[in-house]
Structure 1
Amino acid sequence: MANNVLISGRTGFVGSNLFNYLKKDYRVQGVSRRKAEDLISYESLDKEVLNISKAFIHLAGKAHDLKSISNDDEYFKVNTELTKKLFDKFLKSECEAFIFMSSVKAVADEVEAVLVENVTPNPITAYGKSKLEAEEYILSKEIPKDKRVYILRPCMIHGPNNKGNLNLLYSFVSKGIPYPFGRFKNQRSFLSVENLCFVIKELIENKNISSGVYNIADDESLSTNELVKIIGVGVNKNARIFNTPKVFINMLAKLGDILLPFPINSERVQKLTEDYVVSNKKIKSALGIDEFPLSIREGIIKTIKSFSE
C-alpha cells in the first residue's frame, strides 16, 4: 500500500493543520469540489486513486452558522449526501481506513453531566441532524474485515487560523476590554487541533484500533473565566473580568440577535457561558495513552499567540 493519504477539506482550518502535521510522513492529497494542481475533485475521485491510498480523512462539511442565515437543505446536501457518496466510493476501493469528522453536536446541543459516546443522540440544529444522518448511514453499512472506519466527534476545536469564539475573547483581552460575563459559572471542553491531528495520525497507522465512534476533547475542561485568564497570559496582559448582571447581558444578546453585525448575540453568549464537558476516555483507552501530547493550557496559549503573529 502506497504512503498516500487523502483529505477532503484540505484547505480549511483543520485540513490545513492536518496537512502540515502529516506531510513529513505521507504524500497528502486534497479532495475538493474543484479540481486544481494539488486538489482532486470529488467527481474524479475513483477507485484507482483510492486504491493507492492508505486512508481517506473526510473533513469537508458545512460548519455551524452562528448567524443562523443558512438554508437547512445546505447542511444535508454537504454534511450528509456528500459523505454518503464519498463513503460508498471508499467501500468499493482498497483504501484501508475512512475517518469521518462529525461533531458532538450530532449528539447534543446541551450537556448536563459529561458527554459520552453511548448516549442517545438528540440534535436540535440542522447542522447536528445532518452530521447524525451521515453517522447513521456509515454505521448502517457492513465494514469489510480489511477496512477500518472511524467517526470522530470533536468538541470546540482551536488552533492556528481558527476563527471561532476564541477570537472574540482574544479581542476583549488584547484590547484591554473587560470580559463582562464573570457572573456565569460554567465548565466546558475544548480541543487543540494539534491533539486532533495526533489522534488522526494514530488511527491511520494503528490497525489494532477498533472501528467505531469516538469523542475527541482535551484532557481537562475549563470555565470561561479560567479561559480568559489563560488568554491574558498568552498576550502578556492582566485579564479583567466584570460581574455584569445576567439580566443586562441577556438584554444585550437579544439586541444582538436583531442588529447585525453585533459582537454579542444569544447563541454566542450561550456558547461562552454554557456547560459542555466531553469525555475522551474511550479514545485514550483505544490509543493506549493516559494523556494527550498537549495540555489544554499549552494548547490555548499556542492558539492565542498565533492570533498576534
Structure 2
Amino acid sequence: MKTLITGASGFIGSEVVKSRAARFRLVSRNLRSNPIETDESDIFYVESIDSSTDWTGAFGNIDSVLHLAGLAHNKDSKPADYDEVNFLGTIRLAQEAQKQGVKRFVFVSTIGVLGRCSKEGPLNRFSSTAPYDCYSKSKLKAERALQELASKGSMELVIVRPTLVYGAHAPGNFQKLVKLVNLSPILPFGLANNRRSFISVYNLSDLLLRCLTHEQAAGHIFHACEQEPISTKDFVNKVAKGLNKSLIQAKIPPKLMKVFLTCIGKKITYDQLFGDLEVDGACSQKTLNWSPPYTIDESMKFLRNTND
C-alpha cells in the first residue's frame, strides 16, 4: 500500500519523499514540478487542487493521504482564492479519499489558526482559535470541515499545525532572514529576548511520517515544534553559525523597533520578530513517543550547502 502525497515537490513534501521511509504516489501538475526521480506510474496528474479537482483513479492501492499542498501567502490572491484551494480543495480531496476507503488522512494546517502571538503562555491543544489572515482562516475552515467529515465515516484524521518551518531552501520569512544574514553583518536583535517555537523541515518530515503510521495518531491535533522555544536573537545567531557568517547583534530596544516598524506599516513584522509565539508540543511527543531527531544546530548546518 502507498501514501498519496500532495505538494510532493514543495519545500516540505520533497523532504518527506526524500526519506524513502514510505511508498508514495505523488500528486503533480506536470513533470517539471516534480523533481523526485520515480516511476511515472507513481505520479497522479491534476490540473489544480480545488473544489472541482477530478480525483478519479488516484486512490488505487492507497491507504493514507498526506495533504501538504495549498495556497500560502500570496499578495495577488483574494480571500476567495484561499478558500477555494485550502478549504474547498481539501474537503473535496478528503471526501473522495473517504469514498475510496482510504484509512487515514493527515492534514498539514498551521499554528496560525491559534493566532500570531502567544500572550498568555505556550499555545496548546486547549487554546482558543484566533486565525488572523486569509491563509490561517482558510486552514481553520478546512480543519473543522475535516473533523465533521471524519465523525461521519471510518477514515482516520490527523491534523498537524507546524510552527515556522526552517531549513535549506525554505520559502517565506525564513528565506528573508537568511538573505538578511547573508547581506548584513549587523542586525538589530541584540535585545530580542522573546520566546518563539520553530521546527526544521527535517524534524517535521520525521513527525509527518510518524503521523501516517502510528496507531495512536488518529483523532489528534499535533502542534509541530521543537522541544524548547528560542529568542529571535539566539535563532538568528544560529542561522549565522549555520551559514558560517560573523554577526553583530545591535542592542536596539524592542520598543524603539516597534515604533519604527509600525510607522512604516510593518507592525506584523514586529510581532513576528519581537513577539512571543511559544507552542507546547507535548502531545506529539507523548502520544507518538516522538522527539525531534535533529537539534537546531544540526539542522542549521544544512544551510551551508545553499549559501552562495
Provide the rounded CA distance (Å) in 2 between the counterparts of 1:274 and 1:293: 27
RMSD of equivalent CA atoms: 2.3
Alignment of 1:215 onto 2:223: yes
Residue in structure 2 matched with residue 262 of structure 1 by the alignment: none
Q: Which one of 16, 28, 44 corresponds to residue 18 of structure 1?
A: 16
- How far did residue 299 of structure 1 move? 1.9
Provide the rounded CA distance (Å) in 1 between the counterparts of 2:144 and 2:180: 40
Alignment of 1:100 onto 2:98: no
Provide the rounded CA distance (Å) in 2 between the counterparts of 1:115 and 1:122: 11
- How far did residue 158 of structure 1 move? 1.1
Provide the rounded CA distance (Å) in 1 between the counterparts of 2:289 and 2:192: 36
Give yes or no for contact 1:173–1:240 (8 Å, CA) kept in 2: no
**1:250–1:69 Cα change, 3 Å:** farther
Partner deviation per Cα, 1:222-258 (whole Å, 9 max, x = no partner): 101111221232233332001234465345535654x
Q: Which one of 7, 31, 51 corresponds to residue 9 of structure 1?
A: 7
Residue in structure 2 matched with residue 298 of structure 1 by the alignment: 298
Provide the rounded CA distance (Å) in 2 between the counterparts of 1:142 and 1:69: 33
Sequence identity percentage = 24
Give yes or no for contact 1:51–1:95 (8 Å, CA) kept in 2: no
Provide the rounded CA distance (Å) in 1 between the counterparts of 2:179 and 2:164: 18
Alignment of 1:203 onto 2:202: no
- How far did residue 220 of structure 1 move? 1.4
Residue in structure 2 matched with residue 64 of structure 1 by the alignment: 73
Give yes or no for contact 1:182–1:243 (8 Å, CA) kept in 2: yes
What are the ranges of 5 or more consecutive residues in structure 2 without an aligned counterpart? 32-39
What are the ranges of 5 or more consecutive residues in structure 1 without an aligned counterpart? 258-264
- What amino acid is aligned across from residue 196 of structure 2 in structure 1? R
Residue in structure 2 matched with residue 281 of structure 1 by the alignment: 282
Matched ranges for 1:1-309 at <5 A: 2=1, 4-21=2-19, 24-32=20-28, 34=29, 36=31, 38-41=43-46, 43-46=53-56, 48-65=57-74, 68-112=75-119, 113-143=121-151, 147-246=155-254, 249-250=257-258, 252-254=260-262, 256-257=264-265, 265-289=266-290, 291-302=291-302, 304-308=303-307
| SS of residue in 2 equivalent to 1:78 | helix
| SS of residue in 2 equivalent to 1:30 | strand
Give yes or no for contact 1:228–1:239 (8 Å, CA) kept in 2: no
| SS of residue in 2 equivalent to 1:123 | coil
Provide the rounded CA distance (Å) in 2 between the counterparts of 1:209 and 1:27: 19
TM-score (norm 2): 0.86
- How far did residue 175 of structure 1 move? 3.5
Which range moved further: 6-15 or 81-90? 6-15
Provide the rounded CA distance (Å) in 1 between the counterparts of 2:241 and 2:101: 48
Give yes or no for contact 2:6–2:68 (8 Å, CA) kept in 1: yes
**1:120–1:249 Cα change, 3 Å:** closer
- What amino acid is aligned across from residue 22 of structure 2 in structure 1? Y
- What amino acid is aligned across from residue 55 of structure 2 in structure 1? L
TM-score (norm 1): 0.85
**1:220–1:69 Cα change, 3 Å:** same
| SS of residue in 1 equivalent to 2:66 | strand
Give yes or no for contact 2:117–2:271 (8 Å, CA) kept in 1: no
Provide the rounded CA distance (Å) in 1 between the counterparts of 2:198 and 2:7: 21
Which range moved further: 218-227 or 118-127? 118-127
Provide the rounded CA distance (Å) in 2 between the counterparts of 1:16 and 1:127: 22
- What amino acid is aligned across from residue 11 of structure 2 in structure 1? F
- What amino acid is aligned across from residue 299 of structure 1 in structure 2? S
- What amino acid is aligned across from residue 85 of structure 1 in structure 2? R
Aligned residues: 292
